[in-house]
Amino acid sequence: MSSTLGSSIGKKLLMSISGLFLILFLVVHLTVNSFLLVPDGGDLFNAGAHFMATNPAVRVIEPLLALGFIIHILYGVKLTLENRRARGPERYASGKKTQGVSWASQNMLVLGITVAAFLVLHIANFWVKMKITGDPRLEHTTIEIGGVPTQVENAYALVNTTFSYLWIVVVYVIGAVGLAIHLSHGFWSAFQTIGFSNQLWRKRLTILGNIFAWIIGVGFSSIAILQYLFYQPN
C-alpha cells in the first residue's frame, strides 16, 4: 500500500480522493448556507446549524474533514515542489504559448493558497467562535424543531453580523471565486485521476465540473453579498 501511495499516481489519488471528499463537504455546506436566504429571521438556518452541531455522524466526519483538508493541502504543496524539480532548473525563455490549456489547471497551487487564506479567516470568523471561544452573539435562542421548542445557539446572528462588514464580504467573494476556478479544473481532474474518464466522459465531466464550480462559487458569494445588502437589521 505504501508503494501505491508513494507513486506519482498514488499521490495524485490522495489529491483526488481528498478533493472529492471536500467537494461533498462543499455541497452540504452550501445547502445549509442557503438557509440563510430564507427570510424567517434565521430560524431555519439555526435549526440546520444545530443539526450539524449535534448530529453524532457529523462529529465523526469533522476530524475526517480536517484530515481531508490537511492531506489535500500537504500533498498539493508536495506535488508542486516535486513537479518544479522535475521541470529542471531552466525555464523557457520564449514562455509557454500552448493554446487551449485552462489557466486554472496551470495555477492550482495559487488558487489553493487563495482558498486556504480565505479558509483561515473563515475558521477564525465562525468555527473558532462557535466551537472554542464562544461569542456573545451566539446566545441561545428558541426555535421549533419538528414542533418541539428547542434551545439552540443563534448562529444566524453571528453570520449576519459578520456579513455586515463590507471587507469581509469582499474577501468571501474572492475566496469563493478562487474556489470556483480551483474547482473548474479540480472537479474533472479528480475523476480523471481515479481513472473515471475517457474521450466522451472527459467532455461531460468538464462541463459538469464547470457548472458545479460556478454553482459553488456564485452560491457562496451571493449569500454573503445578499446578507450584506438585504438581511442587515436597520
Identity of the residue, 31 or 106, whose beta carbon is nearer to another protein in the bound complex: 106
Least distance (Å) from another protein to the CB of residue 117? 21
Q: How far apart are CA 107 and CA 199, in angstroms?
A: 24
Least distance (Å) from another protein to the CB of residue 164? 39
Residue count of the chain, please give it.
234
**Span from 24-32, 140-148, 192-200, 211-219 in contact with another protein (CB under 8 A):** 192-200
Plot region of 11 (φ>0 → left; ψ -120 to 50 → alpha; else → beta):
alpha
Least distance (Å) from another protein to the CB of residue 99? 6
Q: How far apart are CA 179 and CA 105, in angstroms?
A: 13
Least distance (Å) from another protein to the CB of residue 61? 25
Identity of the residue, 17 or 119, whose beta carbon is nearer to another protein in the bound complex: 17
The torsion angles phi and psi of 142, rounded to 5 degrees, stand at -110, 125
CA distances from 55 to 48, 144, 145, 180 (A): 10, 17, 14, 29
193 is a site residue for another protein (CB under 8 A): yes
Tell the residue number behind the cell numbers 474533514, with chain if given: 65
Work out which of 192, 208, 218, 222 binds another protein, going by CB under 8 A. Answer: 192
End-to-end Cα spacing for the chain:
59
Which residues from 71-110 bind another protein, rule CB under 8 A?
79, 82-83, 85-88, 90-102, 105-106, 108
Work out which of 54, 142, 198, 232 binds another protein, going by CB under 8 A. Answer: 198
With residues binned 3-state (H G I as helix, E B as strand, rest as coil), the percentages for the chain, rounded to 5, are 75, 5, 20
The residues binding another protein (CB under 8 A) are: 3-4, 7-13, 79, 82-83, 85-88, 90-102, 105-106, 108, 185, 188-189, 192-199, 202
